[in-house]
Structure 1
């Protein structure tokens, strides 16, 4: 694939054997921010809010149904509209950040997300709530890719590893916190507001972040000579949209014909995207995702591994939440707290895996994923009878979280470790999209498997059996992830 970005000089540091020559790197070498801790807190709080809003609405659905007289399809769009807009536009958000500045796009996305959250909290009817959720997803799609790009371009070495570890903890904690916080806010019914605080809680946080971002976000160089690949953006957005919409809505609508047609159209659109990108490159243009990004050693197998990990993690969270609430009759708050051990384990290992002996770092992802396989099988057997989760089960969840984090964080670091600085936005957008697609596909496919084995209301034992079947598939996905992780290497290793 032809690449014309080699025209511009760079002051970046020494190139590794896998990096392009110095002239190919237009951005400056990463410089430590003046207040790295505060900067990381700022951008990861924005990331946390975006992750939180994927799950926080789930527990508010019954109240929204009654208050707004919403139909089942409308409620599904309230939940899914955010995810659809978010997933479809992530790559676009990453490219806009590279073109106009990560600082500017983070602030713009945060402002849009905050304003849309306020509008959601004040929505008078279902139609407006759906529209505002789409706008909220748009704001998140502009903001979130800048988080990884800012980490890539302002942190180096062990500081970057720590930052990526905290990023991992945020991803794990946001999903669980959404369930817990949503349950708390809806149960509190503050001033008779019912479901509205699940959206309004973002507003004061967003305003504080906007004020802090004005002072803390660095002003990094931008690539204003890079032209927009409008054709690639439109075709890729169409491909992702055609994939995500039927996966999100398919089960609720009993997999209609139009959903299968959209999935087939997604495959065709993806093939068209490849052809469009090759044609642009052959003509000397600048494709949406440069070929050198995809050719970065280990990036593709790392992306596959990350997809499979998030596929399993998100699919398990969805099925287990249904089992706890619909099968065992737990409250939303109690169900959210039950997830605590796996979230804590995921976050802790993501933060501290690098403290393990250096000789364990290269094989760590494979070993951790191989340990996850019997862990899911054991959990399925433990829950198959329909009994409540005891201390042994909570410890098993903790172990699964620890192992998942020990796989995810080092693989993520490897995925970005050999990407040149001027490609940080492209790689960040691609990987964040992979994470989001892994979550959507995991919930859709594993959720379908789970729900096809049980029809609520049902006995706890039947719900437990459905979860046991799902855990067997989770074990299989972990085994596939281990095979993929075996093809990744740390950035400093040969090959």
Structure 2
């Protein structure tokens, strides 16, 4: 039988405390998501100030993502061993210190190194968020918490672009790009104080082991896959990239073999056997890949094809982000018998809106002309992402919350990387020989296809979790 243990409901006297706990861990998640995109708009200023090379700028942006994706599952296991509070606060402290170091960096090499440390801190911190939600809430409260989690993931990327544009444009005290990193410091310190006060001081499970063989095979496998995906396009898809991606396959095979023989596997096979988990995770992968590709292609089109400033391009995403937040926060109000239809309908609406991107933005004269497609994309994905998160975790034993959280966090991160590297690269390739609106039209059709693929997996997940 599949275990279906759930965390005990919060007592009425502790409702306010658990609310503040949720706000604290979600704010930590928001910072981690924000830092993926907030740096993008600062790249020209960093190039000018530090004299950074093209490859150096790529690593300043991608170093964070690479370390983050590579270490997420390891961070989840450390959370089980050390306890969620120690892992979250340790990751948050490392992230905050690295942010300070990034803001004070005097050269390209040091900034790259500190960005990698930032990513490692985020990888230790982020998996604990879903673990806290899984252990601290049940029923409707858990569904609400997962909705907020979904809204933070979607909104963080958009807010990052807007906030990054504001901070760089403000040039506070002549500091140029540095506030995009330094803004994390006061927030990180405040969250650290709150987390130490609010998070339960559990000792963790010292009987769990780190599974060093798993870490030493999974981390290189993810590295071999992610690095060429992140850097490949800017370097013309060199041979080393294809060799690296091909090498990831046997390393992943070795990881799977070692996991079957391990007494404490990094990814327990029982997680993959939980009803609905795998198809729900596949749908989440496709959804996050679609959304990340949309952010990239639309941003490049608005700034390069339509002449929008970075600030205007960021503001253009606000209606879609608001729609995502509104729907993802309220989908649980819909009767349960309609959830499957709502999820599928949302992904179909998102697919149609993505397919309409090129024709609509090709004639747009201002950011508000883009609101209709943005609303369709945001509302459609908002109707699907939260329910799929809930479906993935519905039958998950609380004792496996840490590993499940790390695996889902890695799925979302890899989905973003793969979406940008495939569909995003399609736009970058087409725009060389076509006008931007034509390139976006074809890319939009590809993104619509990815949204429909997510719908297929969502249908399978719903069938498995009933």
TM-score, scaled to structure 2: 0.96
Of 314, 329, 334 in structure 2, the residue corresponding to residue 351 of structure 1 is 329
Q: Distance in 2 between matches of 1:97 and 1:62?
A: 37
Q: Distance in 1 between matches of 2:398 and 2:366?
A: 47
Q: Distance in 2 between matches of 1:90 and 1:329?
A: 38
Secondary structure, in 3 states, of the residue corresponding to 1:487? helix
RMSD: 1.7
Residue 355 of structure 1 and its aligned partner are, at CA, apart by: 1.0
Of 152, 156, 160 in structure 2, the residue corresponding to residue 174 of structure 1 is 156
Q: Following superposition of structure 1 onto structure 2, how do residues 56-71 of structure 1 map, counting pairs within 5 Å?
A: 56-71=38-53
Closer, same or farther in 2 for the Cα pair 1:484/1:395, shift >3 Å?
A: same
Residue 371 of structure 1 and its aligned partner are, at CA, apart by: 2.2
Q: Does 1:78 align with 2:82?
A: no
Q: Distance in 2 between matches of 1:28 and 1:382?
A: 47
Of 374, 381, 395 in structure 2, the residue corresponding to residue 418 of structure 1 is 395
Q: Distance in 1 between matches of 2:247 and 2:8?
A: 41
Q: Distance in 2 between matches of 1:117 and 1:471?
A: 35
Q: Distance in 2 between matches of 1:378 and 1:180?
A: 24
Q: Is the 8 A contact 1:386 1:462 kept in 2?
A: no
Q: Is the 8 A contact 1:417 1:490 kept in 2?
A: no
Secondary structure, in 3 states, of the residue corresponding to 2:233? coil
Q: Does 1:433 align with 2:417?
A: no
Q: Does 1:445 align with 2:422?
A: yes
Q: Following superposition of structure 1 onto structure 2, how do residues 73-112 of structure 1 map, counting pairs within 5 Å?
A: 73-112=55-94
Q: Distance in 1 between matches of 2:87 and 2:121?
A: 9
Residue 19 of structure 1 and its aligned partner are, at CA, apart by: 1.5
Of 191, 195, 211 in structure 2, the residue corresponding to residue 209 of structure 1 is 191
Secondary structure, in 3 states, of the residue corresponding to 2:190? helix
Of 280, 293, 303 in structure 1, the residue corresponding to residue 281 of structure 2 is 303
Q: Is the 8 A contact 2:351 2:377 kept in 1?
A: no
Secondary structure, in 3 states, of the residue corresponding to 1:240? helix
Q: Is the 8 A contact 2:85 2:199 kept in 1?
A: yes
Q: Is the 8 A contact 1:380 1:472 kept in 2?
A: no
Q: Is the 8 A contact 1:19 1:419 kept in 2?
A: yes
What is aligned with 2:30? 48
Q: Distance in 1 between matches of 2:97 and 2:209?
A: 30
- Deviations for 1:210-240, whole angstroms, at most 9, x for unmatched residues? 1111111122362211122110111111111
TM-score, scaled to structure 1: 0.90
Of 132, 142, 153 in structure 1, the residue corresponding to residue 124 of structure 2 is 142
Q: Is the 8 A contact 2:7 2:138 kept in 1?
A: no
Q: Following superposition of structure 1 onto structure 2, how do residues 208-287 of structure 1 map, counting pairs within 5 Å?
A: 208-220=190-202, 222-280=204-262, 285-287=263-265
Q: Is the 8 A contact 1:29 1:421 kept in 2?
A: no
Secondary structure, in 3 states, of the residue corresponding to 1:486? helix
Q: Distance in 2 between matches of 1:28 and 1:249?
A: 42
Q: Distance in 1 between matches of 2:52 and 2:29?
A: 29
Q: Is the 8 A contact 1:94 1:425 kept in 2?
A: yes
Residue 483 of structure 1 and its aligned partner are, at CA, apart by: 0.8
Residue 386 of structure 1 and its aligned partner are, at CA, apart by: 5.2
Closer, same or farther in 2 for the Cα pair 1:62/1:41, shift >3 Å?
A: same
What is aligned with 1:159? 141
What is aligned with 2:170? 188
Q: Does 1:473 align with 2:446?
A: yes
Q: Distance in 2 between matches of 1:126 and 1:409?
A: 39
Deviates more, 1:285-294 or 1:61-70: 285-294
Deviates more, 1:193-202 or 1:360-369: 360-369
Residue 341 of structure 1 and its aligned partner are, at CA, apart by: 1.1
What is aligned with 1:19? 3
Q: Distance in 1 between matches of 2:78 and 2:306?
A: 46
Q: Name the structure where helix makes up a greater proportion of residues.
A: 2
Q: Is the 8 A contact 2:316 2:368 kept in 1?
A: no
Of 355, 368, 374 in structure 2, the residue corresponding to residue 397 of structure 1 is 374
Q: Distance in 2 between matches of 1:446 and 1:358?
A: 34
Residue 116 of structure 1 and its aligned partner are, at CA, apart by: 0.3
Q: Distance in 1 between matches of 2:183 and 2:52?
A: 22
Q: What runs of 5+ residues in structure 1 fail to find an aligned partner?
A: 1-16
What is aligned with 1:11? none
Q: Following superposition of structure 1 onto structure 2, how do residues 23-38 of structure 1 map, counting pairs within 5 Å?
A: 29=8, 31=10, 35-38=17-20
Deviates more, 1:309-318 or 1:325-334: 325-334
Residue 331 of structure 1 and its aligned partner are, at CA, apart by: 1.0
Residue 128 of structure 1 and its aligned partner are, at CA, apart by: 0.4
Q: What runs of 5+ residues in structure 2 fail to find an aligned partner?
A: none
Q: Is the 8 A contact 1:362 1:490 kept in 2?
A: no
